[in-house]
Amino acid sequence: MENIEENNLNSRTLIKQYYKADYGQLFNKIKSLRTPVKNKILQCLLDGNWHSELEIIRIAKKEQPYIGAVTIGTMIHNLNHVLKNDYVEKRMREGKMYYKLADNYVGLTRAAYSKYKHKEFNINDI
């Protein structure tokens, strides 16, 4: 395992060291999502755990009260389509639908929703 000195823990050093170049477009697409409901859904899924459809609907209804299961399913499908991969996984358990971020994208999504989301941060500036 590689030793990292504490003074090397600034964001530029970490991104240069661990950022995968092919994730650049995906990072910028996640970062630029403007739909408040989709942002809330992704923020709910940031922990990388499975979340029931009902839990996600409750969170989404706080933003837009008319959202239901069909709208959530359509939003998840559109996220996967726009991002061109299986970004959000879905699975049926005991007759209920569950969603989670794919393990490969949890860290990338957290980075997009961190302080970089609120600054004009572009991965190409590094």
For the stretch 71-105, pLDDT in tens is 998 988 888 887 777 788 999 999 999 999 988 88
* Residues facing 94 on adjacent strands: none
pLDDT for the residue numbered 81: 83
The structure's pTM equals 0.68
Phi and psi of 90, rounded to 5°? -135, 150
Contact (Cβ atoms closer than 8 angstroms) between residue 53 and residue 97? yes
Is a pLDDT exceeding 50 seen at residue 1?
A: no
pLDDT for the residue numbered 123: 46
Domains of the chain: 6-125 (1.10.10.10)
For the stretch 12-70, pLDDT in tens is 665 555 555 456 667 777 777 778 888 888 888 888 899 999 999 999 999 888 888 99
109 or 95, which is more confident: 95
